[in-house]
Chain A
């Protein structure tokens, strides 16, 4: 049993042992979700839906109602998560249920459709639901794997330290570049203006050094160094060394940003698509009764 540092002497309850939301209460919600799926599957196999399986049979309406209630409840996690509590209905338990019951929707909603798809609002709602679930799966996978990689990528540095390293290198570059010719300083200055946080979501996700001005300056300075002699060569050498260190510092930040982006980006799909799904679901249900 691992113990959180500093509180070794406090009495540790059951909850103190770290148990992620996936294994919460020995997979209680996974079992509930599996049982739910099993019931639906067996019913699908046994019930003779006339004229053919679809959302419009008694079985279809029942599963549709279950799925709708589930979706609405799953959406409530957005409200619930703002209040962290422990105990019987802890946020962790709630999250665990969110994940497993959300996954069970794949089975419930698919059986609800009776594999009857078309270009209409009904299939739109289904497709949006699948996208929300897929982004959720991404999120679970990200939470399960990325945080460790995220802290490793900082190589024992805090986030401000990572930035500090770059800022310090910039100052040193400022000084080291003083003796350089105007054309060279122009290159160094572009490197100084480098801002890794300007990268948009796709650049962050790829962590690509493409367009990195520090790398460009480094290449330029190396070319100059090859031709330079005397004092100029010495100055260039120190600038190149500094640019190399800055390049490495930026790459570390980019790698960190990439992991952060991977960890966060799914929610930018999950949440907006959930709202789109609820709108499509409303249209799906309304259309059925409007043209009853």
Chain B
């Protein structure tokens, strides 16, 4: 028995070269070892890879331990087949074909052929392999993918959020996709609207309209009559006209709320309105509106009309006549009171002495008589009982340990009380009637009381006392204008006293903000001899610290510091926002300090 080997190879031209050899044995060894019957020069083949044994009409294939061959298409370590059917064995790059033969044949023929070339993948390495293209996703595919992803995330998703909102009654409480379109945080005042773009941006591709603002800000009134506002607009330069034209082309009508109140400027208080929004019209208002009562104002430091204070210029019977007069015109105030400031704040003299005696310091201070309102903005009206009576005592009688006082503000009652004093007593005691006769500790006071007693003891009772009270040197006369009674009567009357509750009606002034300054730096009380002096600071005094929007003065002051576009009374919005901001910062500092 023998195996007939036909080793087939191919020349470079593809011609088949066959070498035949014969193995005279029942056993055929296959391997890389040159000693093997079938010597395969392939490193994938083991030195001794497999054996094929002829057992009668059967062929048995046996591999070395752990090795396999492909027998008739199946991978196996050992197998058998009939000589009659032949067998195909594939081993690495070689195929061994056992030709079918009659079961009794002596020889079994087999073809040995290399079926895959020795070439590796590198043989096919083309120019393209050197470039990155084979190992990268395609540029075009990546480009379109990214394009669509960004388009979906930044356009599709927010537009969906917009339409979702259109079908909901209440506002969303959490993040909505169209917020990624927001150019910046809303101001603190509008923070609640951050998830509700449509609150202001009502319609797509339509600019924000005032209706959106007015929907919430219902009671904010305009600045003036719209027709007068329109007339007051400044003449536009060619550049301004062009800007207006462009704005209108882009659906940005002029005069909207958001022209001044710009939003999306960050999580802060709304920025103060710049001065030019006011000065555009007010710098030359009289030219546009000749009938206006308002003076031209372009900049506080450079162009601002004199302050016009409300002053009581006279009386119509019991009613004060209030007029607005420029402070520079030195108006005289007809308050009906007599009061020399200079005497009261003097560091020498009787008043200072009195202050020292009462333990109020070296002399009277402004605050001894004038007290701030709780809000710190203005002062409480001076009240006789609270602010004057500690010195200007009206007591006229003592019953036991109790002093009886004349009733302030009621001359008829004063007259009645005095009459009762004289009518009801056999031994009249002197009333301490003069404003200069105050209850004073010490012996000197007693002496003065005695003097008074001698003075009044000679007078004919009540009539004299009443006359004395309302006459020079009397308790009323020193401070008030006494209206003489008709002849033959003692019905003295006191002229009414009044002060404006607010001197500067259309500008804001907050005393607390000026606490670092002394009162005298603005109010020249120490030089005022008469109550008629209006002790208000003029424009020049304010300008020692305040300049315009851009100034070298310590306090840059835009119009919004004292005036408000929308409100007439109360603090301007800018001041309120500043104060809220300051308080918030303080509380934050406290919290942080405490933590």
Contact = CB atoms under 8 A, between A and B. Distances in A.
Contacts of B162: 290
Contacts of B122: 163, 166-167, 170, 195, 197
A286 interface: yes
A7 interface: no
A193 interface: yes
A204 B131 CA distance: 10
Interface string A152-177: 00000001100100110011001101
Contacts of A279: 146-151, 154-155
Interface string A52-77: 10111010000000000000000000
A197 B184 contact: no
A165 B323 CA distance: 109
Contacts of B129: 197
Contacts of A103: none
A283 interface: yes
B238 interface: no
Contacts of B271: 51-52
B482 to A, nearest CB: 61
A272 B148 CA distance: 11
Contacts of B150: 124, 276, 279-280, 283
Given A170-B120, A182-B47, A275 B146 contact: yes
Contact of B155 (A50, A52, A122, A283): A283
A227 interface: no
A271 interface: yes
Given A52-B265, A122-B183, A195 B147 contact: no
Contacts of B142: 268, 271-272
A264 B132 contact: yes
B130 interface: yes
Nearest to B271: A51
Interface in B201-231: 201, 204-208
B183 A257 contact: no
A177 B43 contact: yes
27 contacts: A50-B274, A56-B183, A58-B243, A120-B180, A120-B181, A121-B154, A121-B181, A124-B154, A166-B122, A167-B123, A182-B47, A185-B32, A185-B43, A185-B46, A192-B43, A195-B121, A197-B125, A201-B136, A260-B132, A267-B139, A273-B146, A279-B155, A283-B150, A287-B158, A287-B181, A292-B205, A292-B207
B262 interface: yes
B116 to A, nearest CB: 13
A268 B125 contact: no
Interface in B171-219: 178-185, 197, 201, 204-208
A51 B265 contact: yes
A276 B125 contact: no
Interface in A78-107: none
Interface of A: 50-52, 54-56, 58, 116, 118-122, 124, 159-160, 163, 166-167, 170-171, 174-175, 177-178, 180-182, 185, 188-189, 192-193, 195, 197, 199-201, 204, 256-257, 260-261, 264-265, 267-268, 271-276, 278-280, 282-284, 286-292
Nearest to B272: A51
B127 interface: yes
B118 interface: yes
Contacts of A175: 41
B46 A182 contact: yes
B65 to A, nearest CB: 11
Nearest to A265: B132
Interface in B110-124: 118-123
Given A260-B130, A267-B139, A283-B155, A116 B184 contact: yes
B143 interface: yes
Nearest to A256: B130
Nearest to B201: A291
Given A197-B125, A276-B147, A121 B41 contact: no
A197 B182 CA distance: 48
Contact of A272 (B46, B130, B146, B243): B146
Contacts of A274: 143
Contacts of B568: none
Nearest to A119: B180
Interface in B88-147: 118-123, 125, 127, 129-136, 139-140, 142-147
B184 A192 contact: no
A200 B207 CA distance: 52
